[in-house]
């Protein structure tokens, strides 16, 4: 199974992070997954260049505001911090490189799925309505299932042996309740217009996604409690399941059910990791701000 834990071009980047005293043959005991880790313009542009249908720049705008900027850097910072504090440990970081604009790897998608829109307030779709070309659909689903082969093996190796897995996400500062349909580009330009943007609710700085829709706790309760305390002590505003709970349509829900008490999913507000959150352009996180957000999580894990 360890041979499955490898990078796949344009699907995922897998990094092993070993402490200075770790056994080189040791399996990882900590997993950090960034399922929306395709955060760079090249991720979108390279994939669009491979696809056969015509996809306009409105989708590129959607990509920039809907991808988890800073999540891969945060995952790596946590992994490095943990093995620095406990040099006998080994961590694994899996970064998805498939843009969720075309196929969301944190959604449950069947092989026979077709593109569908979502209404305001609903979870964004796994396969969006603009994916209509059969060849594009086949390519995207092949990469989706290739990603889940890697991630499934990673969870089996880590959580199956009693380790912990963190699903690392970031979200835009404000919660925009809009339909994800063919007009998404125009809709978002309108929603982000000065004067309109400020009317949308401001999200918590950190949201721990620990429960399902019925209120059942699926996360590692001890870990989520420790992470919350450390974040609050560091000056962060922390909520639980404020934006949404673990939704049955998500892969995170399935994994939390499969490994009860071994996972923790969380969101960090993107502006905390950036010089400033600016819509519709590529953004790069600031290292010092990433390290500040990572430090309390490292302390909880250590």
pLDDT at 11: 98
Average pLDDT rounded to a whole number, residues 23-50: 97
How far is C-alpha 87 from the chain's CA centre?
Answer: 26
Q: 172 falls in which pLDDT band (50, 70, 90)?
A: very high
Q: Quick one: what percent of the chain has pLDDT higher than 70?
A: 100
Cβ pair 197, 280 in contact under 8 A: no
The DSSP code sequence of 166-196 is EEEEEE-SB-----BSTTHHHHHHHHTSTTT
How far is C-alpha 34 from the chain's CA centre?
Answer: 4
Cβ pair 16, 92 in contact under 8 A: yes
Q: What is the pLDDT of residues 286-302, one digit of tens each?
A: 999 999 999 999 999 99
The DSSP code sequence of 105-125 is TTS---TT-----B-TTSPPP
The DSSP code sequence of 249-274 is TSHHHHHHHHSTTSEEEEEEEGGGTS
Q: 121 falls in which pLDDT band (50, 70, 90)?
A: confident
Residue 175, exposed/middle/buried by CB under 10 A (0-12, 13-18, 19+)?
middle
pLDDT for 201 beyond 90: yes
pLDDT for 30 beyond 80: yes
Neighbours of 191 (CB within 10 A): 18
Pick the CATH number of 2-301 from 1.10.600.10, 3.40.630.40, 3.40.50.1980, 2.130.10.10: 3.40.630.40
Q: What is the mean pLDDT of the chain?
A: 97
φ/ψ of 207, rounded to 5, equals -125, 120
Average pLDDT rounded to a whole number, residues 233-262: 96
φ/ψ of 118, rounded to 5, equals -130, 150
pLDDT for 2 beyond 90: no
Q: What is the pLDDT of residues 248-281, one digit of tens each?
A: 999 999 999 999 999 999 999 999 999 999 999 9
Q: Which residue is associated with the tokens 């490189």?
A: 97
Work out the angle between the directed axes of helices 251-258 and 134-159 (0-180°, nearest 10): 30
Going from N- to C-terminal start, the domains of the chain cover 2-301
pLDDT for 3 beyond 90: no
Return the ∠ at Cα 244 (arms to 241 and 246), rounded to 5°.
80
């Amino acid at each position: 199974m360890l041979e499955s834990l490898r990078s796949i071009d344009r699907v995922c980047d897998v990094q092993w992070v070993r402490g200075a005293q770790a056994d080189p043959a040791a399996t990882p005991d900590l997993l950090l997954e960034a399922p929306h880790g395709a955060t760079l313009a090249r991720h979108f542009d390279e994939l669009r260049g491979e696809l056969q249908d015509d996809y306009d720049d409105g989708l590129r705008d959607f990509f920039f505001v809907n991808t988890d900027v800073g999540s891969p850097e945060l995952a790596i910072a946590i992994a490095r911090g943990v093995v620095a504090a406990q040099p006998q440990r080994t961590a694994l970081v899996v970064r998805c490189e498939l843009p969720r604009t075309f196929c969301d790897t944190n959604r449950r998608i069947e092989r026979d799925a077709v593109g569908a829109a979502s209404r305001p307030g609903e979870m964004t779709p796994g396969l969006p309505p603009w994916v209509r070309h059969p060849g594009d659909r086949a390519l995207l689903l092949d990469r989706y299932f290739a990603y889940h082969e890697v991630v499934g093996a990673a969870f089996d190796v880590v959580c199956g042996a009693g380790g912990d897995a963190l699903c690392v996400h970031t979200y835009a500062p404000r919660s925009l309740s809009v339909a994800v349909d063919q007009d998404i580009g125009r809709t978002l330009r309108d929603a982000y217009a000065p004067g309109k943007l400020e009317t949308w609710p401001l999200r918590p700085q950190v949201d721990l996604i620990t429960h399902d829709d019925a209120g059942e706790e699926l996360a590692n309760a001890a870990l989520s409690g420790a992470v919350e305390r450390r974040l609050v002590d560091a000056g962060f505003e922390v909520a639980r399941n404020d934006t949404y709970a673990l939704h049955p349509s998500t892969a995170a829900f399935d994994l939390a059910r499969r490994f009860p008490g071994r996972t923790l999913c969380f969101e960090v507000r993107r502006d905390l990791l950036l010089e400033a959150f600016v819509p519709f352009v590529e953004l790069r996180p600031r290292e010092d701000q990433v390290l500040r957000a990572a430090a309390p999580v490292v302390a909880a894990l250590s």
